[in-house]
Structure 1
Amino acid sequence: MRVNKLVAISFAIIWSGNVLSQQIDQAYNQKIKEFTTDTRFLPKLVLDLPDHPTVPSPLKHFGHIIGAEGQLHRTEQIYGYYKKLAETSPSVHIQQMGQSEEGRRFFLVVIADPNSIEKLDHYKAQTARLADPRKTSPEQADAILADAKPIYYVSGGMHATEMGSPEMLMELAYRLAVSNAPEIKQIRENVITVINPVMEPDGWDRQVDWYYRYTKGRPIFDDGFPRSAPYWAKYVFHDNNRDGLQISQEITKSIFKGFFEFHPTVMLDLHESVPLLYISTGTGPYNHFVDPITQSEWQIMANHDIAEVAAQGLPGAFTWAFYDGWWPGYGIWVANNHNSNGRFYETYGNAGADTYLRDYSNARFAGDLASSKEWYRPDPATPLVNWSFRNNINYTQTGVIASLSYAANNGAMLLRNFYKKGFNSLEKGRAEGPKAFTIAKQQRDPAMAAYLAGQLMAQGIEVHENENQFVVLTEQPYRNLAVSLLTPQSYPKDAKFPPYDAIAWTLPNLYGVEVASKDSLDLDVNSLRLLQNAPVYQGKTLGQGNQWVLKYNAQNSVLSALFALKASNKNAEIWVLPSQTFAGQDTLTGGTLVLRKTNADQVGAVAKEFGLDFESSNHNFQASELQPVKLPRVAIYHTWFNTQDEGWSRFTFDTRKIPYTSIDKDDLKAGNLRGKFDVILIPRVNGNAKRFIHGVDKKFGPMPYTKTDQFPSHGFPDSTPDMTGGPGFIGIDNLRKFVEEGGLLITLENSSTILAEAGLIPELTPVATPTLFHPGSIVRAKARKSDHPVLFGFPEHFDLFRGNGPLLQADKYNRDLMLVQYGDKPLKDEIPYDGKIMGMPEPAKKKEEAKKEEKSQPYVVAGMVRNEQEIIGHGSVFHVPVGNGSVLAFTFDPLHRFLNQHEAPMVWNALMHWDRLKR
């Protein structure tokens, strides 16, 4: 919403200087004091909110102040207020930035002096020019710096239970738009502030409904009652801040869209988790591919903000001791990955708008008590605080104004640094290796090779192509990010503090794509074409006929294509070769698919859509060489206490167009599972067998999660008349019956341990690994049964992504249950005894075995593992027959965050061959 130029000029004249006298809103101030629990939590800067005659304050608009006890606003109310600001103030502009999975809108709100709002496109163009040093010389950059303004992006509401920032930002926006306080006026004139008011609108509305439905007015904070709605977005819960590499969720796409439109100099994301205000720098180790300038900016800006907060008299602010600065996949790291500056705050939140006595006396960060006085926490608060919603608002607003003030006073330096970081990345591409990365188009899964190229492009990395390969030239502004994504990570083994998240993200290994690193250019650069759109591999059909062969390499989209084929032609027959077969001159490996009773048009359609190559064949396969593929009826189970990884599983299935039914505890208790489903997938869940069986404490029930007129955002993506309780022992027994009656149960990571402990797969026992430290890393695995259907298309050795999850093992006499192991060395009890045996001739060591030992490869491919000897040789995938069915137990998550896509085909294999895994 732009005001026209004449109106803008008129407003500017009226608002300039002291023509418009500013009356302080004493009623608003009084309410701030009323809802703040201690004068130490009340900074003076929040007590000068103007009472503007034409621009409504939150009090005038809503009838209560921001941070009022018991008051929250849904997204349309929040957006409505910003629209009112834009209508009444020439300093405010609002624009839509896409829609969520459920159709709620993303907005950005821009605040600056009226002249900057009028010239917003100009200022965006200036930062875009600074972003690419190939187009802007240092001399040109100097001229731009004289005419550019820093763009400061502030976002809130990524995590739905962290409820202070979306409310606070409305008050901040009003203050920035109308206040003539010197500090605020300086910000408005020298900085373009971009506000993302509610980053996750679906989750926000669900959580607001949850607050009003369940948690408002509860007298004790830590009473065991769930403080969060079971779902936030349609798919992803807290991991919506772990999607910065995949860019798979709409929230992430909106963040990236905003970055590449505005090229903000700084991005500040507002969170809530720790007392009382944390300002990010992190303990390190820092990501190796973040420019040292950015690392220094983190320190300078954090210390500036700490000093400003201290100057306001607020206790409990700290830096350094929380988080590390390594993992590049957070949403706000779009800034750090692209030569900008990404940072965040954490404040103390109550998951609502109530006041609670909060006890953090035992909380520790970097080994120190959170209430201790340290060099990084100069003014600690007391270990217990009576903490209100308004306290939270005061703290966050004080910090953000301090940071905006820093940008207002140091804008030229921030902009110069922004340009210099891109320049440094470009120069590294010129002066250092690698000079290029090449991705051959013809690979075991060519669709994934094209997908990798597209993912790099989504990150703003330039990708070229010729007939045979995609090429990433490193002489470009985002060279550092390209190298980070395409080469293995090496996390320091001696790091003092544990990592905050996963520590490896090498995309070629995660996608199963071969990428070559080139230290010199051995190709004709002038012959390369710059890709403008993400490439998509379109599969081909060769020949004509009614029998089609797909040579199988565990391509990611095969199962999807089979479902699509059956949807278009229910009479189509799908057959599989269970073992190596010779067809004329061709040697077809186990897993090769044969399609019959279909035609070239139908096969061509799925080939094109799913990136698969089919060949017509006249070979007369013998009946004994083929087995029918019966596509399964699939269910994905979710609990009501943790939906994080179940959401990723659903997203993966939906993206791959694999049909499924979502089920919960009531479905398990109802029984007759085998009559409804062939396969049940239980994704990773949080907790142990006790929690899985009993679920949310029934003392809180009944707790409906249903859509009502009063709570319209509930009941999606699933609903229940009562969230409390779990499947109970009846549900566990019904799961057992499902498997015994011929079903396939697939368990991922700790759900495998849960069902082992629950007695469903007693052949597997948890393994104690007291010294193993295995943060999310890419490691080497070995197939122990390469001819098993679950491993069709996989080589003997391949990569897996694994974090600090539980381990399982079978007794030695049951080791044939193990399909895949970690590492390529056996367990100690599997190493053949090669010493002298009394009463028998002394054995000679076989040369083949010695040679095999010499070829053993390192376990860690990317990342870091401490005391890896505790895991090498243990099982990563088990197949356990139970009655007429099977349990396929993974001790890692092959559907982790839609990231380790190289591993997902093991799940797709299991679904394709669900009814003959035991054969």
Structure 2
Amino acid sequence: MARKFYGMLSLLLSAATAWAQTVPSPKEHFGFNIGDDYQLATYTQTAAYFKKLAASDRTALVDIGMTEEGRHQYMLIVSAPENIKALNRYKDISQKLGHALGLTDETARQLSAEGKAVVWIDGGLHATETVGAHQLIETMYQLVTRTDAETMNILQNDIILLAHANPDGQELVSNWYMRTADPKKRALNIPRLYEKYVGHDNNRDFYMMNMKESQNISRQLFVEWIPQIMYNHHQRGPAGSVLAGPPYRDPFNHIYDPLIVTSIDAVGAAMNNRLNAENKPGYTQRNGSTFSTWWNGGLRTTPYFHNMVGLLTEIIGGPTPETVPLVPDRLIPNGATPNPIVPQEWHFRQSIDYSVSLNYAVLDYAARYRSELLFNIYRMGKNGIDRGSADHWTFYPRYVDSIRTAYKFDKKNDSTTEGETGGGEFSFGKEDTIATKYYAGVLKNPDYRDARAYIISADQPDFPTAVKFINALSRSGITIHKASAPFSVDGKQYPAGSYVVKTAQAFRPHVIDMFEPQDHPNDFQYVGGPPIRPYDAAGWTLAYQMGVQFDRILTAFDGPFAQLPYGQVESPLSTTLPVAKKGYLIDPAANNAFIAVNDLLKAGVKVSRTDKGVFYVPAGAKSESVLSKATTELGILVSAADAVPAKLKAATPLRIGIWNTYGGSIPAGWLSWLMEQYHYSYNFLYSQEVDKGDLRKKYDMLIFVTGAIPDTGKPKKSDYWFGKLPKPEELSDEFKPWLGRINKDTSIPQLKKFLEAGGKIVTIGTSTNLAYHLQLPVENALTEKNKKGELKPLPGTKYYIPGSLLIADLDTTAAENWGMPAKNDVYFDRSPVFRFTDGAAGAGMRKLIWFSTETPLHSGWAWGQQYLKGGIAAFSVPVGAGTLYAFGPEITFRGQSHGTFKLLFNQLYK
């Protein structure tokens, strides 16, 4: 029997070897080996190679969708031939275990024994990080052609999803790099963003999924396959190391399952061990890098909230050789970097080899622990269902702090308080122990319970935007129910068409994260020291950002609900266009109203606004045609006007310029995408055009996103964010005008002339510096006097607010704020805050947004938030015949902050 088995194995290996000889190597296809110095492959070449590899019986090629520039985005599935033939069965098992619905532990173990570990490996998301796309090519080739025992075991036990994350970017970057004939003069200083709209922020879009590529990837991850492990390749490694990888530093998010944290540790150990066994030093982890597991929104981090083991590595290297620099502290072995690397010359192929080894470490781990990984994703999902089906408390820092507050209060008022065990040098870890009564009395407070469900009522002012929020959840694989008839919960009535999102589901962490405030712990380098900057945002609650109104339900309920198919995209509820003899009134509360207005203007229909901001449109065939489509497709509210309203002001379109720069501004890219979604016309404006002057001949409105206007201090070196700017002589005529930065000596005077001549300028974030350049009566509110009586910015030890959501007050009588509520969330990321000085009233300065309390934090982290009280977040001011609008918060943040879009839209009409 054994002889027969080995004979069959020998035949299979022989057949595999023979087939492998017919597969073209990368050198045969591309003309060079992957990792050769000064060589990059384009996506066109790469896609053609994917198709050649797809001829193997180890593979299945999947077109997962179109990119923003219209390319096909491919994913190559690799596994043993018999697994490839049964992909639907293994996908079904992965989905069942991932959703954990209706399974017992016994059934889950049976499915885990039958199923295959599903592992996602991607490359190319950040296209200038060229290792990513190229390691993907090399990994595919090796998995398809190798016949060693380890590879065969991996293929037998794993289903590997090898996905290209950014086809458009690879095409741009590789063509740009290879355009130079002299290899040693090749550079990655591309002229525009490597994702059509958002560049580097394509890794900041995975709970919102605005971009087509994010939608394509998320469907595979969260709807189709639900892999147990996903691995996201990036660059660059910390200086003095080769790469940063798992496990990551604290804090980790409080709401996902602890199995996520320990599983990351386990897979990270396998990756580090593999490199050490292969004499590949330079792996750093935990506090050796900046990466944590707190934030949701990245390709690596959003999977945590879906019970997937998300991995990220950041490696050095590229097609142009470089040197591993000397960082003395990195040479000392420690827990973060147990096997340091010494300074040396580094080549592209070394990074490829490291990456393939890391991929194999992950795949080997998955093969060895296949059934455990499958069962654990079920266990985490089952835990989520159980927690959402009963009273449950999450121990957020704010609740733990309330224990300390209660204890200190009691201790202050009752000298006989017991339960404290004392302290001292030899207290053996009991120095912080207090009476357990505070656990039940504070943490088990019924008001602190997690929600059982969230209800999004269909009768809210901007329900179309709420539907967009629902679509973000649906694309992320969340279980959503829709009411087919009116219903009531806790005495409140809800109309048909309302949505219900229950927390008793496998992806409960993601549900909680999208509705509840994040509570980032205070995180400092040492007690009394400076803050540690979060990897990305500290607070991002999507329902708050989008201005969605919802009810948080703490008890179980049911009703006339139908579950939406996973991943289904909903349309707004159609409204009825009334019969109107005089005209129509369009409610500006819904963001979609501005789409309808822009379509009306482009159709040649006259549009006006009342003194309350309501849009008025005269009746007629053109207006009726546009509005019929808008009410059907956009769900906006339109009513009939019995008479022409008094005090109408024409709303005519403006000639709009959006500042941009060589290499591409990410905030400007997001804004350009947003303008297109809402049907505004615009042109990009570069600093050289600003410096030439005569801006009023071409523009009515200029928009400067954060990062455009420098401060009033000494000009800083203007290098491109990824490297040095090219010299003009190195560029074609198309790109030369993009070079340069806004300069206080040459640009600011032209912007002042533009305003004085009747132009309008919107500044956002740090670009509100323009107010200081114009010497307006305003100053930084976040300052204190030093011993010399000089105003200095507050130090980080006293005040620090990274990306978070704050509740601000708005002047609803101001035209700039039409359609906004009196209080609203704003996205605040170390944003400017102002104080009017003497002469502000005489200058006509108007306060639009401000902070009225000492505790405006709604979601995230706000150290020293009391300093915000009375601070002005936004204002407008006439400058000559024009107007300057200054918005400190990020009112268009990453295409997510729908709740503040109107603060821009209102300014975009005459």
Q: What TM-score, normalized by structure 1, do the two folds share? A: 0.82
Deviates more, 1:428-437 or 1:233-242: 428-437
Is 1:19 paired with 2:14?
Answer: yes
Shift of 1:68: 0.9
Is 1:823 paired with 2:851?
Answer: yes
Report what 1:549 is aligned to.
Answer: 585
Change (3 A) 1:17 1:265: same
Question: 1:842-897 CA deviation, whole Å, 9 max, x = no partner?
Answer: xxxxxxxxxxxxxxx73101111111133332221121211100111111211110
Is 1:875 paired with 2:872?
Answer: yes
Shift of 1:18: 4.8
Is 1:573 paired with 2:606?
Answer: yes
Distance 2:775 2:350 in 1: 51
Change (3 A) 1:172 1:702: same
Report what 1:271 is aligned to.
Answer: 234
Residue pair 1:635, 1:663 contacting (<8 A) in 2 also: yes
Q: Quick one: which of 558, 562, 573 aligns to 1:537?
A: 573
Shift of 1:226: 6.7
Shift of 1:458: 1.8
Change (3 A) 1:373 1:818: farther
Deviates more, 1:338-347 or 1:236-245: 338-347
Shift of 1:91: 1.3
Distance 1:884 1:150 in 2: 66
Report what 1:54 is aligned to.
Answer: 22
Question: 1:752-790 CA deviation, whole Å, 9 max, x = no partner?
Answer: 22x245x2454444552323211111101122x432111
Is 1:738 paired with 2:760?
Answer: no
Report what 1:464 is aligned to.
Answer: 481
1:887 aligned counterpart, secondary structure: strand
Is 1:798 paired with 2:824?
Answer: yes
Is 1:888 paired with 2:885?
Answer: yes
Residue pair 1:543, 1:616 contacting (<8 A) in 2 also: yes
Is 1:239 paired with 2:201?
Answer: yes
Shift of 1:693: 11
Q: Quick one: which of 471, 481, 490 aligns to 2:510?
A: 481
Q: Would you identify which runs of 4 or more consecutive aligned residues in structure 1 move more than 6 Å?
A: 12-15, 690-699
Residue pair 2:804, 2:827 contacting (<8 A) in 1 also: yes
Change (3 A) 1:670 1:692: farther
Residue pair 1:206, 1:229 contacting (<8 A) in 2 also: no
Residue pair 1:511, 1:900 contacting (<8 A) in 2 also: yes
Q: Which residue identity does 1:604 align to in structure 2?
A: S
Shift of 1:518: 0.6
Distance 1:704 1:15 in 2: 58
Distance 1:487 1:511 in 2: 13
Change (3 A) 1:16 1:474: farther
Report what 2:519 is aligned to.
Answer: 490
Is 1:789 paired with 2:815?
Answer: yes
2:14 aligned counterpart, secondary structure: coil
1:591 aligned counterpart, secondary structure: coil
Shift of 1:670: 3.9
Q: Quick one: which of 109, 113, 120 aligns to 1:153?
A: 120
Residue pair 2:709, 2:742 contacting (<8 A) in 1 also: no
Report what 2:676 is aligned to.
Answer: 654
1:96 aligned counterpart, secondary structure: strand
Shift of 1:705: 5.7
Change (3 A) 1:806 1:737: same
Report what 1:585 is aligned to.
Answer: none
Distance 2:108 2:726 in 1: 65
Report what 2:794 is aligned to.
Answer: 769
Change (3 A) 1:692 1:361: closer
Q: Which residue identity does 2:386 align to in structure 1?
A: E
1:105-120 correspondence runs (5 A): 105-120=72-87
Shift of 1:375: 1.1
Q: Quick one: which of 109, 122, 132 aligns to 1:142?
A: 109
Change (3 A) 1:597 1:404: same
Distance 1:698 1:789 in 2: 41
Report what 1:581 is aligned to.
Answer: none
Distance 1:726 1:453 in 2: 40
Distance 1:574 1:705 in 2: 43
Deviates more, 1:555-564 or 1:12-21: 12-21
Residue pair 1:438, 1:517 contacting (<8 A) in 2 also: yes
Residue pair 2:661, 2:739 contacting (<8 A) in 1 also: no
Change (3 A) 1:602 1:56: closer
Residue pair 1:280, 1:298 contacting (<8 A) in 2 also: yes
1:747 aligned counterpart, secondary structure: strand
Report what 2:901 is aligned to.
Answer: 904
Report what 1:380 is aligned to.
Answer: 340
Shift of 1:303: 1.2
Change (3 A) 1:177 1:14: farther
Is 1:440 paired with 2:465?
Answer: no
1:635 aligned counterpart, secondary structure: strand
Q: Quick one: which of 269, 294, 298 aligns to 1:330?
A: 298
Q: Quick one: which of 195, 203, 218 aligns to 1:256?
A: 218
Q: Quick one: which of 585, 593, 599 aligns to 1:564?
A: 599
Change (3 A) 1:695 1:91: closer
Distance 2:380 2:138 in 1: 34
In structure 1, runs of 5+ residues without a counterpart are 1-11, 24-50, 363-368, 579-589, 707-718, 826-856
Distance 1:558 1:409 in 2: 55
Shift of 1:334: 4.1
Residue pair 2:583, 2:644 contacting (<8 A) in 1 also: no
Question: 1:62-116 CA deviation, whole Å, 9 max, x = no partner?
Answer: 34321111111001211222222222x3212222111111112211111111111
Distance 1:641 1:55 in 2: 38
Is 1:679 paired with 2:638?
Answer: no
Aligned-residue Cα RMSD (Å) equals 2.7
Distance 1:142 1:485 in 2: 31
Q: Which residue identity does 1:548 align to in structure 2?
A: Y
Question: 1:300-330 CA deviation, whole Å, 9 max, x = no partner?
Answer: 1111211121111111112112211111100
Shift of 1:613: 1.1
Residue pair 2:244, 2:315 contacting (<8 A) in 1 also: yes
Deviates more, 1:811-820 or 1:773-782: 811-820
Q: Quick one: which of 737, 740, 748 aligns to 1:725?
A: 740
Shift of 1:241: 0.2
Q: Which residue identity does 2:499 align to in structure 1?
A: F
Q: Which residue identity does 2:554 align to in structure 1?
A: D
Shift of 1:476: 2.0
1:444 aligned counterpart, secondary structure: coil
Is 1:865 paired with 2:894?
Answer: no
Q: Which residue identity does 1:302 align to in structure 2?
A: G
1:504 aligned counterpart, secondary structure: coil
Shift of 1:702: 2.6
Is 1:406 paired with 2:365?
Answer: yes
Q: Quick one: which of 285, 305, 323 aligns to 1:319?
A: 285
Question: 1:259-304 CA deviation, whole Å, 9 max, x = no partner?
Answer: 1222211100111111312212221211122211111100111112
Distance 2:624 2:667 in 1: 39
Shift of 1:691: 6.4
Report what 1:26 is aligned to.
Answer: none
Q: Which residue identity does 1:512 align to in structure 2?
A: G
Residue pair 1:235, 1:647 contacting (<8 A) in 2 also: yes
Q: Which residue identity does 1:576 align to in structure 2?
A: R
Report what 1:37 is aligned to.
Answer: none
Change (3 A) 1:379 1:636: same
Distance 2:201 2:519 in 1: 23
Shift of 1:610: 3.1
Question: 1:808-867 CA deviation, whole Å, 9 max, x = no partner?
Answer: 443244266252344214xxxxxxxxxxxxxxxxxxxxxxxxxxxxxxx73101111111
Report what 2:660 is aligned to.
Answer: 638
Is 1:131 paired with 2:98?
Answer: yes
Residue pair 2:122, 2:162 contacting (<8 A) in 1 also: yes
Deviates more, 1:295-304 or 1:729-738: 729-738
Change (3 A) 1:608 1:52: closer
Q: Which residue identity does 1:872 align to in structure 2?
A: K
Residue pair 1:693, 1:727 contacting (<8 A) in 2 also: no
1:285 aligned counterpart, secondary structure: strand
1:835-854 correspondence runs (5 A): none
Shift of 1:439: 0.9
